[in-house]
């Protein structure tokens, strides 16, 4: 799927940023949701922004989506630095921002995707909750949940900050706790719309069947991912490197599936190692949120690609960048290595995405 809006040199520059999910968001922004086509798997806030902000760009939704993502990315940089600087020092905060910018999948932060919007809302929720602005944190959390279902996980850090301020005593719970529940209300708002429009409040969940996703426990998902990793490595060893990593995904394409499974497992292991390293070094609000955000996708594996989109999901788990910054703080060689490796893979995966080859 792709959104072909521009032609010539301008098309080569802009059209790649609206591949895959970007097409869905543009389709929803222009034509709304429908029952049975899979569109309800995509939550409504980003398509709404595309539709109405797009009026300022004469309906050019590709440009609109890129602008929204870039503006949100600027907010991500500022909020990430502000949040991390309040818990650590300038060096750690600066490096966390650098690692976000040069991550292998950071090109999604300027694409017609929800990554920038969701991350800026996540960081804003953390900042407001840490500072005790519960109403603002609740509203931001609600908006994050209307962007992605994983927004509901912001209940974890909000609850942590709320009871930390109250000495971990339940009897000190007051009316401000209602603001925490606003995060879950985002799901209720979406379910209410689906119920009124289609009579199916859980249509967003059943729509995942189009991508052959189903419910499973994380141990099953990881076991399946290991099996598909071994299968993918066999393809790689059999001198099929080019086809494994660059073949355009299509039904029955075993080579692109192999490459995707290899990349997904690399990101899962990397994220797990950073989570483990940060467990005793990060604020508990960071670690508990990261654990929840990394575990959540493991409950919904896809049939042939158990960790489908997992690398992209890790992109918005900001505590991973902080953990990496802590690891390299007194290791200049490690920092240089991270920068070089990040840039190399960023260029390679950006080219892969621009060539309309599946990345995450």
Using a pLDDT cut of 90, give the percent of the chain over it.
72
Q: Are 112 and 69 spatial neighbours (Cβ–Cβ below 8 Å)?
A: yes
Unique residue bearing structure tokens 């076991």: 223
Q: Are 176 and 161 spatial neighbours (Cβ–Cβ below 8 Å)?
A: no
d(CA 277, CA 182): 32
End-to-end CA distance of the chain: 14
CB atoms within 10 A of CB 297: 21
Q: Is 111 helix (H, G, I), strand (E, B) or coil?
A: coil
Q: At what angle do helices 90-101 and 332-354 cross, to 10 degrees?
A: 30
The 10s digit of each residue's pLDDT in 118-141 is 999 999 999 999 999 999 999 999
Q: Which two tokens stand for residue 142?
A: 């609600």
Determine which helix (DSSP H) or strand (DSSP E) holds 159, and give its type and residue range.
helix 155-164
Looking at residue 249, what is its pLDDT? 47
d(CA 213, CA 296): 13
d(CA 280, CA 287): 9
Looking at residue 241, what is its pLDDT? 55
Q: Is 19 helix (H, G, I), strand (E, B) or coil?
A: strand
Q: Which two tokens stand for residue 100?
A: 């976000």
Looking at residue 230, what is its pLDDT? 83
Q: Are 77 and 37 spatial neighbours (Cβ–Cβ below 8 Å)?
A: no
Q: Are 95 and 38 spatial neighbours (Cβ–Cβ below 8 Å)?
A: no
**Radius of gyration from C-alpha coordinates of the chain:** 20
Handedness of CA 324, 349, 42, 309 (dihedral sign): negative
Looking at residue 44, what is its pLDDT? 96
Looking at residue 75, what is its pLDDT? 98
Q: At what angle do helices 319-328 and 61-87 cross, to 10 degrees?
A: 50
d(CA 79, CA 64): 22
Q: Could you report the average pLDDT of every consecutive run of 10 residues in the chain (360 residues)?
A: 56 74 92 89 96 91 94 98 96 97 95 96 98 96 96 97 94 91 94 94 88 89 88 68 51 61 91 96 97 96 89 96 96 96 94 81
Looking at residue 211, what is its pLDDT? 81
CB atoms within 10 A of CB 291: 18
d(CA 109, CA 117): 8
DSSP code per residue over 8-68: HHHHHHHGGGGBTHHHHHHHHHHH---TTSSGGGS-SHHHHHHHHHGGGGTT-HHHHHHHH
Give pairs for 246-250: CB < 8 Å, separation 24+.
246/352, 246/355, 246/357, 247/357, 248/356, 248/357, 248/358, 249/357, 249/358
The 10s digit of each residue's pLDDT in 44-87 is 999 999 999 999 988 889 999 999 999 999 999 999 999 999 99
Looking at residue 272, what is its pLDDT? 97
Q: Residue 19: beta bridge partners?
A: 2
């Amino acid at each position: 799927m792709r959104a072909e809006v521009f032609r010539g040199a301008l098309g080569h520059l802009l059209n790649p940023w609206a591949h895959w999910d970007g097409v869905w968001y543009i389709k929803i922004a222009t034509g709304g949701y429908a029952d049975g086509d899979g569109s309800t798997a995509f939550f409504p806030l980003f398509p709404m922004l595309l539709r109405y902000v797009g009026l300022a760009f004469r309906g050019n939704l590709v440009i609109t989506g890129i602008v929204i993502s870039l503006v949100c990315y600027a907010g991500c940089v500022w909020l990430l630095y502000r949040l991390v600087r309040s818990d650590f020092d300038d060096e750690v905060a600066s490096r966390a921002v650098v690692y976000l910018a040069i991550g292998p999948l950071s090109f999604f932060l300027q694409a017609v995707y929800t990554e920038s919007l969701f991350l800026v809302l996540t960081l804003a929720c953390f900042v407001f909750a840490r500072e005790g602005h519960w109403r603002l944190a609740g509203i931001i959390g609600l908006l994050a949940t209307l962007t992605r279902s994983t927004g509901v996980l912001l209940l974890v850090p909000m609850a942590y900050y709320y009871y930390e301020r109250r000495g971990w005593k339940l009897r000190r719970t007051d009316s401000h706790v209602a603001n925490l529940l606003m995060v879950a209300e985002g799901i209720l708002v979406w379910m209410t719309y689906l119920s009124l429009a289609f009579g199916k409040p859980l249509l967003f969940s059943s729509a995942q069947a189009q991508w052959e996703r189903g419910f499973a426990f994380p141990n099953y998902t990881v076991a399946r991912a290991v099996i598909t990793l071994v299968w993918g490595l066999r393809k790689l060893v059999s001198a099929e490197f080019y086809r494994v990593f660059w073949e355009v995904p299509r039904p029955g394409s075993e080579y692109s599936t192999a490459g995707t499974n290899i990349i997904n497992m690399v990101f899962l292991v990397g994220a797990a190692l950073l989570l483990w390293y940060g467990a005793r070094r990060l604020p508990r609000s960071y670690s508990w949120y990261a654990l929840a955000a990394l575990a959540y996708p493991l409950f919904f594996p896809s049939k042939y690609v158990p960790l489908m989109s997992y690398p992209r999901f890790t992109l918005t788990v900001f505590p991973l960048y902080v953990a990496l910054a802590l690891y390299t703080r007194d290791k200049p060689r490690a920092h240089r290595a991270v920068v070089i490796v990040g840039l190399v893979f960023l260029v390679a995966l950006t080219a892969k995405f621009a060539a309309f080859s599946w990345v995450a």
